[in-house]
Structure 1
Amino acid sequence: MAPIGHLRRGLVTVIAAVGLAALGVPTALGDGSHGDGDGSGGAGSVEYVNMGDSYSAASGVLPPAPGAPPQCLQSARNWGHVLADRWGYDLTDVSCGAAETRHYTEAQYPGVPPQVEALSDETDVVTMTIGGNDSGVFSGTIQACATAAATTAGTGNPCEEQNGDRFTDTIENVTYPSLVDALETVKAAAPDARVAIAGYLQILPAERGCYPIMPVASGDVPYINDIQATLNDAVRRAAEATGVTYVDVTEASQGHDACRPIGTRWVEPAVGGTNPVVVHPNALGEQAMADRAAAELGGASRG
């Protein structure tokens, strides 16, 4: 086993990378049109808007979406593009790495309008992932637990001991009501649309982790899983409260966590992954999200 000092130096780099990935980048507002091939939104076309954060944007998955602003990491292979290509929808993709619920009504970056501005009475279908970046829950959990794991060389449950219920309390008391507000805003801006929100793909195995590939101490794996389950349940309850379709990806993503080998995993690990944006879905994960959304929504037709 490497000395703890060496592990700390290596994990500082990992933590920095995870932080940058979680801060992410936004996505394009309209140039990523798909469906009828020319983005013209012709008569009878289904107007589809993909919104949300880096899980919707597929930040780090190549190739990037054509026309995305330079500060964006929106992928041409994200679940929105997969669904639009599958169903022939006319896609406007405003998903944005690091987006929080507030960025539905506030500009996230200069030149990148609030995401709800992409919606209208003409919008037929909306998909999204959102909520994980609110109050820094996603990035905060990963960074806190990576830092804690470095102090014990991946043993014990130092993250849980240091942080207790603070992440789950934030999700319940801050993230959940923000999700409800965001979904109500979406429905008001697109009153005739079928709206779907997905949970987040499983990041870690059910019990044992894979330190230092994923820099989480062995005893903190259940702790992080509980935080993620709390987040996904908040998304589910917010969807139920607002009459929005919830796309449950938890069961489907079991056995496809970041500790699995290439070709099996749907989320890239912090160390040794294939995407520059770590602890985020790869192309297989985005395809799986699209498959689950398709099962929940089916196709839709204009009018």
Structure 2
Amino acid sequence: MTRAAVALLAVLGLAAAPAVAVANTGTLRYVNMGDSYSAGAGIVPPAPGAPPACAQSSLNWGHDLAAARGYQLTDVSCSGAETKDYTTSQYPGVAPQLNALSSTTRLVTMTIGGNDNGVFVGTIQKCGTAAARTAGQGSPCKDMYGNSFVDTINNSTYPNLVATLTKVRAKAPHARVAISGYLQILPPTTGCYPIMPIASGDVPYLDNIQATLNSAVKRAAARTGVTFIDVSTISAGHDACKPVGTRWVEPILGSTNFVPVHPNALGEKAMAGQAGTVLGLD
């Protein structure tokens, strides 16, 4: 097994409402929820008081939003979270994320869905292992798994998202709720094997899987009256194959974060900026 394949096995697991601006007030109660893209997994420094297992950073996009506007932040984002962790405890001593919401909550942000059914980690691991067998040539992952990842997203992740966003809105009936898509991980067509150990012919395949996930998030948001924050366009050209200072997502080899294939501080800041624009906070 190559170093790239071994590294892959160590990767951690990881909203359409009325266009009404959220008031810029220091007393606004704001809750950031979700998975590792919300938590800022692997970015130092860690968030004080957050459960260590959640790998939450003080530089994640929720903290960026709150710090810039003086919001009263409660951050329950947690690396590896799935939609089920909104209603059940993800780790011992970590409350279900929905517990952070109430009728006094005024703003909610999140990324969620990427870990459901093991799609995020499963895709990276399986395609990375397949690429190691072909030295980065051809499309071994597509040949082996075909439409299975896309079918799982559409048939399972999407209804999970609809159910979860419905629960969020019920628990925080007076809040503006927003869900972000996921930053671009790979370029659309040409990769950077072995820095991102995905076979050349599988790069478009993974790009389509990520586009399907972002589409599922967008459709679920529209169905439940939640604001969708599209980050696909702004993150083009900032994928994990780009150099330090340009990329917003860290690669497997040469990552500057403790957790590769996740946003760095620049990526989290960009997500906060896009959220501010979409939500009318600026």
1:255, distance to aligned residue in structure 2 (A): 0.1
Checking the alignment, whether the CA contact within 8 Å between 2:4 and 2:253 is kept in structure 1 is no
Match of 1:169? 151
Q: Which aligned runs of 4 or more in structure 1 are off by greater than 3 angstroms?
A: none
Give matches, 1:264-283, under 5 Å. Answer: 264-283=246-265
Checking the alignment, whether the CA contact within 8 Å between 1:51 and 1:115 is kept in structure 2 is yes
Match of 1:260? 242
Distance of aligned partners of 1:48 and 1:212 in 2 relative to their CA distance in 1, 3 Å threshold: same
Match of 2:18? none
Specify the SS of the correspondent of 1:239.
Answer: helix
Match of 2:10? 17
Deviation digits for residues 245-291 of structure 1 (CA, Å, limit 9, x no counterpart)? 00000000000000000000000000111001010000000000001
RMSD of Structure 2 on Structure 1 (CA): 1.4
Q: Which stretches in structure 2 are left out of the alignment for 5+ residues?
A: 15-24
Specify the SS of the correspondent of 1:63.
Answer: coil
Checking the alignment, whether the CA contact within 8 Å between 2:231 and 2:274 is kept in structure 1 is yes
User: What fraction of aligned residue pairs are identical, expressed as a percent?
Assistant: 64
TM-score by length of 2: 0.95
1:44, distance to aligned residue in structure 2 (A): 6.7
Checking the alignment, whether the CA contact within 8 Å between 1:131 and 1:235 is kept in structure 2 is yes
Specify the SS of the correspondent of 1:71.
Answer: helix
Higher relative CO (CA 8 A, sep ≥ 6), structure 1 or 2?
Answer: 2
Q: Which stretches in structure 1 are left out of the alignment for 5+ residues?
A: 1-7, 25-42
AA aligned opposite 1:222: P
Give matches, 1:34-113, under 5 Å. Answer: 45-113=27-95
Match of 2:184? 202
Specify the SS of the correspondent of 1:127.
Answer: strand
Deviation digits for residues 140-166 of structure 1 (CA, Å, limit 9, x no counterpart)? 000010000001100000000000000
Checking the alignment, whether the CA contact within 8 Å between 2:54 and 2:80 is kept in structure 1 is no
Q: Is 1:189–2:171 an aligned residue pair?
A: yes
1:298, distance to aligned residue in structure 2 (A): 2.2
Checking the alignment, whether the CA contact within 8 Å between 1:167 and 1:227 is kept in structure 2 is yes
Matched residues in 1 for 2:231 and 2:5: separation?
31
Larger radius of gyration: 1
Matched residues in 2 for 1:277 and 1:44: separation?
33
Matched residues in 2 for 1:11 and 1:45: separation?
47
Distance of aligned partners of 1:192 and 1:150 in 2 relative to their CA distance in 1, 3 Å threshold: same
Match of 2:161? 179
Aligned match of 1:136 in 111, 118, 141?
A: 118
How many residues end up aligned between the 2 structures? 273
Distance of aligned partners of 1:117 and 1:262 in 2 relative to their CA distance in 1, 3 Å threshold: same
Aligned match of 1:288 in 248, 258, 270?
A: 270
